Amino acid sequence: MSELTGNCLVAQSGGPTAVINASVAGVVNEALNYECIEEVYGGLNGILGVLNEDIIDLANESQQAIRGLEYTPGAALGTCRYKLKRATDFERVLQVFEAHNIRYFFYIGGNDSQDTADKISKLAQEKGYELRVVGIPKTIDNDLVATDHCPGYGSVIKHISTLVREMACDNSAMGQGDLVSILEVMGRNAGWIAAGASLAKRRDKPNDPPHLIYLPEIAFSPEKFLADVQRVLSKERYCMIVCGEGLVDADGNYVHASSSATDAFGHGQLGGAGDFLREQIERRLGIKARTAKFGTSQRAAATHASQTDCDEAIMVGQAAVKAALEGVTDKMVTLIRGEADHYVCETGLTDLSEVANGVKALPVGWINEDGTSMNFQFIKYATPLIQGEIPVPYENGLPSFAKLKKTRIFRLLDPYQPE
């Protein structure tokens, strides 16, 4: 145990998830346990808040608000997609840390964010500024290496599987062997999220919806696709399809990029895969199809969040603080699944640089030979992650989420102009 007295700062980065705020709650609750952590700060809008000295006093928030973060979606501290590039950016971060005696930095995010955290940590070492940097994993995309899974993933696939179950009740009532529904889900380059929809099938009911899942990992063939749809419709009243937003053809091009679905900026827009599939079905099979596209609501679906996911998001936040207090730096907290049949999960640590430079692919061996469904290995992996429901409080008929009052601390430096 190496004693380092000073302040801590936590910030959130990248796309929000249903449980990213639970990790903030974990950091705050744990940080308050230690005397050598004097102030508990939050950086607003990710690393931008550090550059701009937009820093709030988290210890000043009510206990109710911090508790409320456990079921509040979005990023309560605000987030950003700003990537530090210039040397001056990194130096500014250290100036701000030094000005406010920030000695502990917890960055909640995906691989880009962990890369940023790594570079900050290394610069601090170079400059001889004593700083402990511990990353906290977060991404619905589930693509971070060295961790069994990522907080945020369990909730998004629980949400999508719930929607599949609900829509199946609707579609099975409407269909007469001629109804096709396409659900386009997030996941730009990996099929982790689309694959998760397979949890909607009941045990030993392979013909349950979703009938067909299309993943970025499998080169998309329109001919096979149309044959798949026809095969399902010959046996079922309806065909429910889940596709990732980033389907690619055999040459690695997005399937919808060549279609008319290019956006106003002239580039093929992600998010058109569902409409592309619909157009294929309508034009080539003459069957009416519908596309649903859930947008950012997927990653904000707190009312469908997984209790397991939420508990683990809190746990990684707490573990980051504990590790830093023990002297750890330049690491990210990981989740380690126990070997036993009964699911247990504990935390570990890995180098930030390892996370920064890797992407965890969906194992191709977990996809069935037909390329449109997942096998028992995936189901075994993913099922524990969606267990348990969160009792979100309702007020006047709607979920009531926490809002932070965000008391700013005084700025001590001159303004800075991020790129």
Residues involved in catalysis: 141
Of 68 and 371, which CB lies nearer to a second copy in the complex structure? Answer: 68
Q: How far is the CB of 196 from a second copy (least distance, A)?
A: 11
Q: How far is the CB of 164 from a second copy (least distance, A)?
A: 9
Indicate the burial class of 38 (C-beta count within 10 angstroms; 0-12, 13-18, 19 or more): middle
Q: Which DSSP string do the residues of 182-218 spell out, in sequence order?
A: EEEE--SS--HHHHHGGGGSPTT-TTSSP-EEE-TTS
Of 301 and 333, which CB lies nearer to a second copy in the complex structure? Answer: 301
**Residue ranges in contact with a second copy by CB under 8 A:** 12, 15-16, 45, 72-79, 158, 161-163, 165-174, 176, 181, 183, 199-200, 203, 260, 263-265, 271, 279, 282-283, 286, 290-297, 299-304, 306, 383, 386-389, 394, 396-399, 401
Contact 155, 17 (CB under 8 A): yes
Facing residues of 337 across strands? Answer: 345
Q: What are phi and psi of 288, to 5 degrees?
A: -70, 135
Query: What tokens appear for 260 in the block?
Result: 């008319």
| Amino acid identity for residue 409 in this structure | I
* C-alpha to C-alpha distance for 370 and 114, rounded to whole angstroms: 36
Q: How far is the CB of 402 from a second copy (least distance, A)?
A: 9
Q: How far is the CB of 295 from a second copy (least distance, A)?
A: 3
Of 79 and 350, which CB lies nearer to a second copy in the complex structure? Answer: 79
Q: How far is the CB of 125 from a second copy (least distance, A)?
A: 31
Of 77 and 215, which CB lies nearer to a second copy in the complex structure? Answer: 77
Facing residues of 289 across strands? Answer: 180
Q: How far is the CB of 132 from a second copy (least distance, A)?
A: 26
* C-alpha to C-alpha distance for 276 and 262, rounded to whole angstroms: 11
Contact 126, 120 (CB under 8 A): no
* C-alpha to C-alpha distance for 202 and 209, rounded to whole angstroms: 9
Q: Collapsing DSSP states into helix, strand and coil, what is residue 366?
A: helix
Helix axes 153-174, 307-325, angle to 10 degrees: 170
Q: What is the DSSP letter of 396?
A: T
Q: How far is the CB of 151 from a second copy (least distance, A)?
A: 16
Of 18 and 349, which CB lies nearer to a second copy in the complex structure? Answer: 18
Of 303 and 353, which CB lies nearer to a second copy in the complex structure? Answer: 303
Place of tokens 């009510």: 62
Do β-strands 289-293 and 212-214 pair in parallel, antiparallel, or remain unpaired? unpaired
Contact 334, 347 (CB under 8 A): yes
Of 289 and 332, which CB lies nearer to a second copy in the complex structure? Answer: 289
Comparing CA positions, the residue from 329, 338, 237, 241 lying closest to residue 293 is 241
